[in-house]
Amino acid sequence: MNIEQIHTIQGATECLLFFNGWGMDTNAIQHITNRNYDIFACNNYTDLTVDFSIIENYSKVHIVAWSMGVWACMNVQSKLPKTIASSIAINGTELPMHDTMGIPSTIFKGTIEAWNDNTRTKFNIRMCGSREEWIQYKPYMSKRISTEQKKELEEIHSRILLNKNSTPFNWTSVVIGERDLIFTAENQKNYWQSHIKRFILPIPHYPFGNITTWDEILNWAK
């Protein structure tokens, strides 16, 4: 797992830690502005080895996890600092390969087997909700190569099969996209049905297209 600092605010005492989706890079959030926090992003879950010492001195850490980042955050929670003030799971579950609470296993495995530049484009269109939205959000799509993305998903799949009894993470709030074509809203609702704070919004799987500030996202945890 890679962690990198993407925004720095002079004198910031709080930080935001973003867990990205599978196959993505920081293009996904490049347009989101920030005035209050140092921003760190985690990408690439081919290996879940990570060192969070870079954020251990902040008075508060806010976590935003999207898609497969929800699962990734759960898997590295023991390494996180104890100063977590809020945590938001967006369009993902902690059972990412599951027929009723994640991505159905046949679709998950089929995505791995068929992944190439052509299927990647089709996936991105579904992720954005429509071809029109995909055209609009193209600058936010990943620049990583398809073979690297496929390797990452293969490793995620292997780890899912090995770790079936992971401890759930303590999320402050959950955001479910009604228009999500990757993690369907129905399956997300099934997984998060007992969560106290759920927000169901009319957004596709890629939720950041019309987001302009990180505070808009953090408001979902209040």
Which CATH number is 132's domain given? 3.40.50.1820
Which residues form the domain of 123?
Answer: 2-221
Angle between helices 68-75 and 146-162 in degrees, nearest 10: 50
Report how many domains make up the chain. 1
CA–CA dist 85, 28 (Å, integer): 24
CA–CA dist 71, 173 (Å, integer): 15
Residue 66 CA from chain centroid, whole number: 2
Q: Are 174 and 195 in contact (CB under 8 A)?
A: yes
Give the model confidence (pLDDT) of 160-213 as tens digits.
Answer: 999 877 899 999 999 999 999 999 999 999 999 987 788 999 999 999 999 999
Q: Rounded to a whole number, what is the largest CA-CA distance in the chain?
A: 49
Residue with tokens 């997984």: 191
Give the model confidence (pLDDT) of 56-99 as tens digits.
Answer: 999 999 999 999 999 999 999 999 999 999 999 999 999 999 99
Give the model confidence (pLDDT) of 100-154 as tens digits.
Answer: 999 999 999 999 999 999 999 999 999 999 999 999 999 999 999 999 999 999 9
- Amino acid residing at 182: I
